[in-house]
Chains A and B, each alone.
Chain A
């Protein structure tokens, strides 16, 4: 029986031919050596499946480790960006900017961890165009009031989680009702008191698949949040 029927057609045709002829490729032939080759071949034939299995398992393990580590990195990256966004938002609010502007400042700073941008006029913007769009969004220029990233809704006006009873309603400042948001979004909220300005920033339902996440955290989806706290300088001059 030809080995080609037992193996995938793309697999090792040269080895297959050598097995059929029972002759080493260099033409050397000796009875003792032939026995040894046959024994080794038989052993290999028996091990072939195990080698594939070993490779598969190794790759699986390695792949798991690789993607796990990369996901951890992604998580860490998002956490750092969230920290920075919270810091910038808190500072903007602390020096006296309205909450809307502080939120916009934090959203723009969170862009690196917010997935691809969606912009109607330019569905596939370059990095430079994205910067221009963001700059225009930052100053709320006409036509740039609503900029959407995959993980945040730029205008923060309408609830994007359709499982939430508040879906479609204004949600500036975030929603406390929805517990199982199925669409990623950000929650950015400055809270100013007399002497201190707090800014809470979080990516809700961040698109990561973390095993046992609910078991460990008690939450269904991944939330990456950060809070910054800065002296509220605006209280010196504003009322």
Chain B
């Protein structure tokens, strides 16, 4: 055998099979690598989707709990008002026909007994004890009467204090609940195997810093940024909670808007501000995506130093709740909720009253005035002299004060009698502060319903479920596919060089020619550095990431007595504990706005670079100023600076306008934008 082998080797026959074996091995290894690559990508995609789903559902679950707690507190407030003895008439209407032996009827009977036509106080609680049959006040019982008023006043104040405390608890829940939801979502994503998203973490830290600065400014500008929410000074605890969430690590990102977030405005051109206020515009510029840029190029003239017209103003949207995953509740002190509730027959008795000829709303019969206001201090006001008679008139102002003075001694009370109080009742309802659903909770529009129910969804919405939830949990994940060597961009956009851009629009180059755009004396960066940065950007387009997102919301309907189901906000928009489940919904079904936490560069540019444009003579100078403050953010600012440089180039704009002129009518469809997940 050895001899035969030796002979064959001598004959030059050796290696024939070896070559084939080597080729086969190479093929098998490549195939195996491809297989493992594909497996890595697919596993990554499934894992990312499951993790984002878990994060969204977890957050929605906590939003559900938070809303229910706030709803329970509303119920507690209502109960507190109802059991308050002086206000027992709440909800009783001036309807003498209601005499059916029920509670309401009994109250009406009581009212009838004390209803003496000419007595202003006849309808006052226990008025019969203080007025004779002719409606005259029994002077001998004055002390008892004032004691009764003081007792009522004490109870009213107690109720108001309770109301404020409940509002404070609701506010705490509106801050802490969503942040717990946000933190829990991060843990769910981590438990499902996602890697840490450092960009999102840094964005959250930037948001926290902005907010902390605002909190420090509160003392100087209370009107703008009120830190006191019904006695809860939320600023510091909120920043502290953000710190905790950030320290625990971020794995998924969400979209949000926050008070203090800069927004671009322009005095002369709204379209300029709108376009440059969007992150996507800058990448449309870099990609020469003329279709998307068409309105800007065609409608704006770009005068010299056009960027000086862009001012960066802080968003002054302030509400008593977390910016992250907000519940979108509002606090209101008015009679509107009752009127709205009555309008949709949410009150059980309302229908009964209507059948007996009652017209109008509860608020019509319960005005905001109280019959007697208890005061302890009469403050002399201005003194005026009648020019004709020479009489002097004093305008006295009364202020509500404590029942006792600073030393705890009883104070002689004063009373102000409000003749304008039509119902002569203590009416506590309009003075209570309720947590309400804000306008983000609304029914779907007809167009929306037609598109979704008719075309996209597998069924009709259940009764009471066809609404857009203000509380929505949107999460996205962006994971590297670095382990997948061969197919790192599988399933993502793979572009074939200089032929087309990402919307199928033919273009000359993927990125601009450095020499065309940059003069040799570009401030801070020479052409070589710019070219290196461009290469980095271009390469980054091919290092695609697995990106996915999910949207979930708490679900629930308001079940009313007749068996029908109302949307949760249909009972006077009052938050009630009606949420019993959570559901993943199509991402495109309900809008998600705001800044993505994973868009770190955009956030940095919004707060650091774009505000420098306003009075800057050149773009380079604005860029330089921004870098002076944060030199470490060069890479984050750069794409935005580069895009503005391009937009400032008349040749670039002409190229776009020429392309648009040559492609009239054959522009590619920009897509429906509906994601099938």
- Choose from A77, A126, A127, A239 the contact partner of B460 (Cβ within 8 Å): A239
Q: Knowing A44-B7, A112-B490, say if A234 contacts B676 (CB, 8 Å).
A: no
Q: Knowing A40-B7, A237-B585, say if A98 contacts B457 (CB, 8 Å).
A: yes
Q: Is A44 within 8 A of B11, CB to CB?
A: yes
Most chain A Cβ neighbours within 10 Å, of B24, B49, B581: B24
Q: Knowing A47-B4, A69-B31, A238-B459, say if A95 contacts B17 (CB, 8 Å).
A: no
User: Which B residues lie within 8 Å of A99 (CB)?
Assistant: 458
Q: Is B31 within 8 A of A101, CB to CB?
A: no
Q: Knowing A99-B458, A237-B461, say if A135 contacts B500 (CB, 8 Å).
A: no
A45-103 CB contacts (< 8 Å) to partner B = 47, 51, 55, 58-59, 62-63, 65-66, 69-70, 73, 76-77, 80-81, 83-84, 87-88, 91-99, 101-102
User: Which A residues lie within 8 Å of B676 (CB)?
Assistant: 92, 97, 101-102, 104-105, 138
Q: Is A96 within 8 A of B458, CB to CB?
A: yes
User: Which A residues lie within 8 Å of B35 (CB)?
Assistant: 73, 76-77
Q: Does B584 sit within 8 A of A, measured CB to CB?
A: yes
B397 to chain A, nearest CB (A): 56
Most chain B Cβ neighbours within 10 Å, of A69, A92, A112, A237: A237
Q: Does B260 sit within 8 A of A, measured CB to CB?
A: no
Q: In the complex, what distance in Å separates the CA atom of A101 from the CA atom of B46? A: 19
Q: Is B586 within 8 A of A97, CB to CB?
A: yes
Please count the residue pairs between chain A and chain B whose beta carbons lie under 8 angstroms apart in the complex.
Answer: 139
A89-141 CB contacts (< 8 Å) to partner B = 91-99, 101-102, 104-105, 109, 112, 126-128, 131-132, 135-136, 138-139, 141
Q: Is B27 within 8 A of A66, CB to CB?
A: yes
User: Which B residues lie within 8 Å of A70 (CB)?
Assistant: 27-28, 31
Q: Is B461 within 8 A of A83, CB to CB?
A: no
User: Which A residues lie within 8 Å of B661 (CB)?
Assistant: none
- Choose from B34, B494, B582, B677 the contact partner of A105 (Cβ within 8 Å): B677
Q: Does B278 sit within 8 A of A, measured CB to CB?
A: no
Q: In the complex, what distance in Å separates the CA atom of A98 from the CA atom of B100? A: 53
User: Which A residues lie within 8 Å of B459 (CB)?
Assistant: 96, 234, 238-239
Q: Does B591 sit within 8 A of A, measured CB to CB?
A: no
Q: Does A8 sit within 8 A of B, measured CB to CB?
A: no
B657-673 CB contacts (< 8 Å) to partner A = 669, 671-672
User: Which A residues lie within 8 Å of B20 (CB)?
Assistant: 58-59, 62-63
1/0 contact string of B439-466 vs chain A (CB within 8 Å): 0000000000000000111111110010
- Choose from A128, A132, A237, A239 the contact partner of B583 (Cβ within 8 Å): A237
Q: Give the size category of A's interface with B.
A: 35 or more
A141 to chain B, nearest CB (A): 6
User: Which A residues lie within 8 Å of B203 (CB)?
Assistant: none
Q: Knowing A83-B42, A131-B494, say if A141 contacts B669 (CB, 8 Å).
A: yes
B468 to chain A, nearest CB (A): 12
Q: Knowing A66-B27, A70-B27, A237-B583, say if A91 contacts B16 (CB, 8 Å).
A: no
Q: In the complex, what distance in Å separates the CA atom of A73 from the CA atom of B35? A: 7
> How many residues from B make CB contacts under 8 Å with A?
55
- Choose from A77, A87, A141 the contact partner of B38 (Cβ within 8 Å): A77
Q: Is A101 within 8 A of B671, CB to CB?
A: no
A195 to chain B, nearest CB (A): 11
Q: In the complex, what distance in Å separates the CA atom of A236 from the CA atom of B500? A: 43
A39 to chain B, nearest CB (A): 11
Q: Does B504 sit within 8 A of A, measured CB to CB?
A: yes
Q: Does B555 sit within 8 A of A, measured CB to CB?
A: yes
Q: Is B7 within 8 A of A43, CB to CB?
A: yes
A211 to chain B, nearest CB (A): 19
Q: Knowing A127-B494, A128-B495, A128-B496, say if A98 contacts B31 (CB, 8 Å).
A: no
Q: Is B555 within 8 A of A238, CB to CB?
A: no
Q: Is A91 within 8 A of B677, CB to CB?
A: yes
B66 to chain A, nearest CB (A): 19
Most chain B Cβ neighbours within 10 Å, of A66, A73, A92, A96: A96
Q: In the complex, what distance in Å separates the CA atom of A72 from the CA atom of B56? A: 38
- Choose from B39, B42, B585, B674 the contact partner of A96 (Cβ within 8 Å): B585
User: Which A residues lie within 8 Å of B38 (CB)?
Assistant: 77, 80-81, 112
Most chain B Cβ neighbours within 10 Å, of A15, A88, A104: A88
Interface residue SS majority, chain A:
helix
Q: Is B677 within 8 A of A92, CB to CB?
A: yes
Q: Is A135 within 8 A of B671, CB to CB?
A: yes
Q: Does B208 sit within 8 A of A, measured CB to CB?
A: no
User: Which B residues lie within 8 Å of A126 (CB)?
Assistant: 496
Look across to chain B and name the residue whose beta carbon is closest to the beta carbon of A101.
B676
Q: In the complex, what distance in Å separates the CA atom of A24 from the CA atom of B120? A: 141
User: Which B residues lie within 8 Å of A95 (CB)?
Assistant: 584-586, 677
Q: Does B382 sit within 8 A of A, measured CB to CB?
A: no
B677 to chain A, nearest CB (A): 6
Q: Knowing A77-B38, A83-B42, A99-B458, say if A94 contacts B584 (CB, 8 Å).
A: yes
Q: Is B677 within 8 A of A88, CB to CB?
A: yes
Q: In the complex, what distance in Å separates the CA atom of A26 from the CA atom of B198? A: 72
Q: Does B493 sit within 8 A of A, measured CB to CB?
A: yes
Q: Does B255 sit within 8 A of A, measured CB to CB?
A: no
Q: In the complex, what distance in Å separates the CA atom of A63 from the CA atom of B16? A: 14
User: Which A residues lie within 8 Å of B589 (CB)?
Assistant: 96
B473-528 CB contacts (< 8 Å) to partner A = 490-491, 493-496, 499-500, 504
1/0 contact string of A139-152 vs chain B (CB within 8 Å): 10100000000000
Look across to chain B and name the residue whose beta carbon is closest to the beta carbon of A83.
B42
Q: Does A154 sit within 8 A of B, measured CB to CB?
A: no
Q: Does A192 sit within 8 A of B, measured CB to CB?
A: yes
Q: Does B78 sit within 8 A of A, measured CB to CB?
A: no
- Choose from B24, B32, B490, B677 the contact partner of A66 (Cβ within 8 Å): B24
21 sample A-B contacts, Cβ–Cβ < 8 Å, listed by A number: A59-B17, A59-B20, A69-B28, A76-B35, A77-B35, A80-B38, A91-B677, A96-B459, A97-B457, A97-B586, A98-B458, A99-B458, A109-B491, A126-B496, A127-B496, A128-B496, A136-B669, A141-B672, A233-B584, A237-B585, A238-B461
List of 10 A-B pairs having minimum Cβ-Cβ separation, nearest first: A236-B583, A238-B459, A233-B583, A105-B676, A66-B24, A233-B584, A237-B465, A58-B17, A73-B31, A139-B672
Residues of A that sit less than 8 Å from B by CB: 15, 40, 43-44, 47, 51, 55, 58-59, 62-63, 65-66, 69-70, 73, 76-77, 80-81, 83-84, 87-88, 91-99, 101-102, 104-105, 109, 112, 126-128, 131-132, 135-136, 138-139, 141, 192, 233-234, 236-239
